[in-house]
Amino acid sequence: MATTESSKPWRPFTSNCCSADNQTILGNFSRCRTSKSDFSKNIAPLPSFRRLSFSDLSRSSSIRINEDLAQSFGPDLYDFQLSELRAITQNFSANYMLGEGGFGTVHKGYVDENLRQGLKPQAVAVKLLDIEGLQGHREWLAEVILLGQLRHPHLVKLIGYCCEDEQRLLVYEFMARGSLENHLFKRPGISTSLPWGTRLNIAIGAAKGLAFLHGAENPVIYRDFKTSNILLHSDFTAKLSDFGLAKIGPEGSNTHVTTRVMGTYGYAAPEYVSTGHLTTKSDVYSFGVVLLEMLTGKRAVDKSRCKNEQNLVDWAKPYLNSSRRLRYIMDPRLGGQYSVRGAKQMSLLALQCISLNPKDRPKMTVVIQTLESLLEYKDMAISCGQWPVSSNSTKKTGLPSSAPNFRAQSRSSSVGVQNKKPNPAVPTPRKVV
């Protein structure tokens, strides 16, 4: 597998600042309709940005880095002092911790009107990066440079940064609902399941974020699209976060970027894992995996499940092109409160996204159009005979261990459903090679 980064010189926005030469594959798998004119409108004008060189900044002192970033971004980003961020997070207290990952920890803080002129009082999220070697700094710098230029309703807003001695911190807008991962997979304290309509709107929002990135003249490949990186505002607006692994896409006649494999196991496209060839279609594959998680309520990879169900893509594929089979793997927490037609179309879209051939995967603009068309469907499964009235043991049926037991319903109890014998057992899915 090729593991060398492109040697092209660094340029504003189309930088190689997210390269990963000093990370191992295993180390990273253990962690973590927009037009081009619309895209350009959302990039802040940075007339002096060309003097920024990633390679220079990587070797510069924190004072030099702050000077260059301040000259490049001006009032668009705030340069915070470490003491200020300690104060607003109670010295990064565990009581204020929002999450923890391979990047380090994230803490909630609150800024008042006295902290910075022009900065409105608000809750913020402070990411304290774990700086072990160069890569931690590189990921920090990648986020500052990328999010310092980009503004979009479905990208998390970067408010400021801190570069002081060896410390590297980022300050974002606070996302009150946390991550999609927490809501799908029962984080303690979250008792209710996401309704079907909310899931659909989240998928649309996340798709718009990806489409925005892919819509640049030099596309931005997100490279780590997953449920934990989709954050939710108080109104459940979805925003993409954590851009430390983002990569600028191929330029000119190039069809792909060759890079070390980085991301999260279960979400990474198979051709990227096997060859290191990265394209925007790699993100589309990851998006398809997230659609499957939203449909089934199961994680992309779960070693606690029985062997043939551990990898969600391999297990779910045989069920996706049949309405009769699909209902067996729908998230039981939805309780039948989902659109039958909508779920079918979403499953077919997911199947396209996770195609082994990248050329068969749709563009994100097409994904958005498809998902938005599902908003009109109101045929709830529970009201049209597609959901069981009771759930018994299914161990002898050959269905997934989590599948509900469907039984025949009379014509009078539902619309358009005739009496029929109980459905035969669906064959055990075979692993797709």
The reply to whether 391 falls in a domain is: yes
User: Per-residue pLDDT for 343 more than 80?
Assistant: yes
- Do 184 and 129 fall into the same domain? no
pLDDT at 384 over 60: yes
Q: Does residue 3 form part of some domain?
A: no
pLDDT of 383 over the 90 cut: no
Q: Tokens standing for 357?
A: 């051939």
Tell me the CATH number at 233. 1.10.510.10
Q: Say if residue 203 is in the same domain as residue 338.
A: yes
The predicted structure's pLDDT at residue 353: 98
Binding residue per annotation — 127? Answer: yes
Query: 154 and 192: one domain?
Result: no
Q: Domain boundary residue among 116, 147, 173?
A: 173
62-71, 211-220, 278-287: which range is least confident on average? 62-71
Residue that wins the pLDDT comparison between 221 and 63: 221
- What was the pLDDT predicted at 113? 82
Looking at the domain assignment, is residue 234 inside a domain?
A: yes
For residue 73, what pLDDT band results from cuts at 50, 70 and 90? low
Asked whether residue 142 falls in the same domain as residue 240, the answer is no
Q: Which of 151, 173, 195 marks a domain boundary?
A: 173
At 74 the pLDDT is 56
Does residue 19 form part of some domain?
A: no
Same domain for 204 and 163: no
Mean pLDDT within 231-258: 82
pLDDT category, 229, cuts 50, 70, 90? very high
Q: Compute the radius of gyration of the chain from its Cα atoms.
A: 23
Residues 408 and 363 in one domain: yes
Asked if residue 266 is part of any domain, the answer here is yes
Last-in-domain residue among 126, 152, 173: 173
pLDDT at 101: 72
* Set 68, 112, 224, 314: catalytic member: 224
Task: Work out the pLDDT band at 77, boundaries 50, 70, 90.
Answer: confident
- Residue 429 belongs to some domain of the structure: no
Domain holding 143, by residue range, is 25-32+47-173
> What's residue 192's pLDDT?
73
Global pTM reads 0.76
Q: Within this chain, do residues 186 and 96 fall inside the same structural domain, yes or no?
A: no
The CATH number of the domain holding residue 92 is: 3.30.200.20
Examine residue 130 and state whether it is found in any structural domain, yes or no.
yes
Residues 261 and 408 in one domain: yes
54 and 136 housed in the same domain: yes
Are residues 141 and 276 both part of a single domain? no
Structure tokens at 352: 């396209």
Residue 219 vs residue 155, higher pLDDT: 155
For 108-121, the pLDDT digits (tens) are: 999 988 888 778 89
Task: Please report whether residue 15 resides in a domain.
Answer: no
How many CB atoms are closer than 10 A to CB 321? 12
- Count the domains in the chain: 2
What's the pLDDT score for residue 319? 96
Lowest-confidence range among 43-52, 161-170, 397-406? 43-52
224 is catalytic: yes
**Whether residues 141 and 282 fall in one domain:** no
Domain identity same for 246 and 102 = no
